[in-house]
Amino acid sequence: MEQSLILRLPEDILVFHVVKYLELKDIKNLFLTCKQLNRSLNCPTVWHVIYMKTFAEAQDENYSFEMFYKWGPAMYKQRKHSVLKLFGSNSFGRLGCTRETYNNSKYEIVNGQRRYYGTFQMTSQSGYADISAGGFSFEILGIDGTLSFTGYDWHGRLGRIAPGLKGERIGTIQAARPRNPINTVQALYWKTLPRFTAVSSGRAHFLALDSDNNLWTWDDGHVLLYGEHLTLWDGIIDKEIKGKILKIRAGWNLNSCMVAGVGIVVWSYRTVNNSLTKAYVRILPRTNENYIFDYVLLESAVIMIDRHGILEKIDFSGLNLDEISSENVHLPPTVVLDQFMSYIKTNGSSRFIRLSGCYETFAVISEGDDVLIGKRGRMQFKLPLIMASLKQKSIITVAAGDYHFLALDNKGQVYSWGRESMANNCLGLGKLTTILSKGIGYMDGKDLVVPDPQPIQVSGRVLAIAAAGWHSALIVAPNAPDSDNS
């Protein structure tokens, strides 16, 4: 009998380029077709696509999360009953707890000062779908499509909110703080609250996408809860950009998304005219879904994995980012990060498959389980930092904060390393005295530095991670009563 045409496809074509165009029922049927397809499709990349498609297509309040995932891996069903664990500095209410609760949590005396090392837990009846870390808050996506943020505000009361309204220069922001450090967002001029399906955080702003392909932004320091509905606008040809939004990526002080058939668009400002909020975007050439598999937006660079698993960058440093959407700003060329590629090929791998990043740092994972870090200070991202201790640990994602990292393996174990500014507990490793006595970290002035990844002790299976400057978070499916919470 002649072999089916789909079985003749190389596995990477099937996993990376075919599945994302299929409907959910068709993906499920492929799993059930034969052992070869079941084996090829049973990988994190495909399950991520399934998760996003399922969540995005949930249209009514009676939607059962388990209805679809009862035939899939247990980790996706566990999100329905997950909890949030947050740790680090609670400045601006980042951890979602009041000052009184934080001050009554676990602490030790170091040099005559209190160092808080407690872990704070949040629960939700609907469960947690995803979490994103901004400079002053967490943005939390519920399985029911709600979107919340921690903190008394998400912008740190900065004088300049970017990428916000064009020309806006705010002094001391006078927007009133809510009483609670956990708030559910709302949508301006919308009759009903949208069902959000994705969220991404920058330093002092965040983006969200809803199930109807509407893009939303929170970037105005005067308006805390209400998001603005964005229209993507090509200012060079003065025309709206339409198409399905495939990915959203907020950068440190820029915004971006990938539009089907168009590519990655980046913007530094928006305007409001007759209730139409336009994001004036710049289209990055040769970046549509046929060329680019995934990307992250940093402070002033885009790091990308192309469809062949090759790592590339477009570096905006030196440009006027306030005018990046203008035709007068000439975009730099796309550059292959050769030393990253050379390393994995030398070690038996041929492509990169996962990417994350924040501020001036990114993390990338190869198909051979290599974890590499790129930093602007290391030859403008060109020289990789090799995380040898994470090799063959089956790391599925890395969360890069400003100066620290979390890594999650496929068994739900999380590792942390890097710099804790003012020893603020964003690494989640417990007492400072214990860390120092074990020799896994050292003090650099008032900062704690842990150079090598260390396991975080968590009761339960970690499903997702997030990190930013002074704070970290885990989505956890608990398997036993937890006793480490404040």
CA dist., res. 437 & res. 421, Å (int): 19
Which runs of consecutive H residues, i.e. helices, occur in 372-480? 432-438
Residues in contact with 168: Cβ distance below 8 Å, sequence separation at least 6, in sequence order: 160, 161, 220
Q: 């968590």: which residue's tokens?
A: 458
- CB 392: neighbour CB atoms within 10 A? 9
Q: What is the pLDDT along the chain (486 residues), one digit of tens a residue?
A: 355 777 777 777 787 778 888 888 888 888 888 877 877 787 766 776 776 666 555 444 333 343 344 334 555 567 778 899 999 999 999 999 988 899 899 999 988 889 999 999 999 888 888 899 999 999 999 888 899 999 988 988 776 677 888 765 444 444 555 667 899 997 766 777 888 888 999 999 999 999 889 999 999 888 888 888 999 999 889 999 999 998 999 999 999 999 999 999 999 999 887 778 999 999 999 999 889 989 999 999 999 999 899 999 999 998 988 888 888 889 999 999 999 999 999 999 889 988 999 999 999 999 889 999 999 999 999 999 999 999 889 898 999 999 999 999 888 899 999 999 999 999 999 999 999 999 999 999 999 999 999 999 999 989 899 999 899 999 998 874 443 333
Dihedral sign of CA atoms 209, 213, 219, 221 in order: negative
Provide the strand spans (E) within 2-127.
83-88, 107-110, 113-116, 120-123
Question: What is 261-317 written as a DSSP string?
Answer: TTEEEEEEEEEEETTEEEEEEEEPTT-STTTEEEEEE-SSEEEEEETTS-EEEEE-T
Q: Is 192 exposed, middle or buried (0-12, 13-18, 19+ CB in 10 A)?
A: exposed
CA dist., res. 274 & res. 323, Å (int): 23
DSSP at 18: I
DSSP at 457: -
Q: 């090759």: which residue's tokens?
A: 310
Domains and their CATH numbers in the chain: 1-72 (no CATH), 85-477 (2.130.10.30)
Phi, psi dihedral angles at 78 (to 5 degrees): -70, -20
Provide the strand spans (E) within 61-155.
83-88, 107-110, 113-116, 120-123, 128-133, 138-142, 147-150
Label the pairing between strands 239-240 and 245-250: unpaired
Q: HSE on the CB side for 209, CA within 13 Å? A: 24
* Number of residues assigned to the chain: 486
